[in-house]
Amino acid sequence: MGCGCNKIKKEDNNNEMQNDNVLNIENISNDETKLKSVKKIQRFIRNKLGKKNFSKLNRNNSNINKNSSKENNIKDFKLEIPEEELTKLLNEYSPLTDGITVSINGPVKDIMTQSVYLGEWDFKNNKKHGRGIQYWLEGSKYYGYWMSGKANKKGKLIHSDGDIYEGEWLNDQPNGKGKYKHLDGTIYEGDWKNDKQHGKGKELWADGSWFEGDYVNGQKQGKGQFHWTDGSYYEGEFYNNYINGYGTYFFGDKRTYIGTWVNNKLDGKGVFTWPDGKKYEGEYKNDKKHGFGIFYWNDGKIYKGYWKDGKKDGEGEVYYPKEKKWKKGKWKDGVKIKKHEKSTDNNEVDSLYI
């Protein structure tokens, strides 16, 4: 179900968000220091779940004669399927009502897939059909329905490492509703199509963070919301596992950004507000104020003009509420350079917490 993502965007004096190096989620979960320092905005934006490939089921099964000896099958593979496990399956799952006559067969070995099967069998077509269990030599197990030799309808696949998928199947692949649970407690529950998350779904991580929204071919794509354990969350558009498009990010410290995003970064037009009343309305690029924008202080002062890389750069004007006047000027890299007006407010709008 995808790859690891990253945590927190930290503050600096030039922009609302600052990127750190990409960290794998498996490393983050075991390092409390990194939990505090790496990017929040990207922590889980790409799927955390390292989804297993279900292709072990999607192989041709050798046609084994029902008279193959039980002794040879078990001896060759050193695998045994307890009869009580089959009894449990037969009691838990109702028989198929498709008119095909079946009876119990096995243990039946498949030399090519190194697997052993015990369960209902369509002897007319010499295929697994109905309720059955299959073990693989490497330790995985499928428990559920089969149709025409393939996992279908409903079943459970338990991987050798302890991960479990349980839900609907079509031709050896998860299709429909299903739940995938990792041994570490990470869970995806929702829609599947051809072995990939597709449709509506929800992911929950062991630390309590979660995502709920749209998936396309295994990627977060469309509308969704992401919640982190510090109280911050994002609601809006995703594309290809990234925050992309229009959305709102609510920070745990009550700051808010509403606007457009590109690959998890503030990019385009947006509004950034602070809990003390400051506000910026304007253009962003690569997480920084860039282009035309207006910055409002909580004392009534206003800067209206151009920005570059998070700093005032180009022509602009400042409104001073005490004087009730606008004064024009020109800035370079955050420093006022126009000679006709002596400035005492250099860099004042470039800091997040002035």
Residue, of 157 and 352, whose pLDDT is higher: 157
pLDDT tens sequence across 227-238: 999 999 999 999
Buried-exposed string 51-71: b where 16+ CB fall within 10 A, e elsewhere: bbebebbeeebeebeeeeeee
Give 3-state DSSP helix, strand, coil % of the chain, rounded to 5.
Answer: 10, 45, 45
Distance CA 291, CA 277 (A): 22
Distance CA 190, CA 173 (A): 15
pLDDT tens sequence across 232-256: 999 999 999 999 999 999 999 999 9
Mean pLDDT of 136-153: 96
Element (H, E) at 72: helix 70-77
Distance CA 237, CA 224 (A): 6
pLDDT confidence band for 288 (50 / 70 / 90): very high
pLDDT value of residue 15: 56
Please say if the pLDDT value at position 334 is more than 50.
yes
pLDDT value of residue 89: 96
Q: Domain residue spans in the chain? A: 54-181
pLDDT value of residue 90: 96
pLDDT value of residue 111: 82
pLDDT value of residue 308: 97
pLDDT tens sequence across 171-219: 999 999 999 999 999 999 999 999 999 999 999 999 999 999 999 999 9
Return mean pLDDT, the chain. 80
pLDDT value of residue 161: 93
CATH architecture for the domain at 54-181:
Single Sheet (2.20)
pLDDT value of residue 193: 97
Which burial class, exposed, middle or buried, applies to 324 when counting CB atoms under 10 A from its CB (0-12, 13-18, 19+)?
Answer: exposed
Mean pLDDT of 6-21: 37
pLDDT value of residue 207: 94
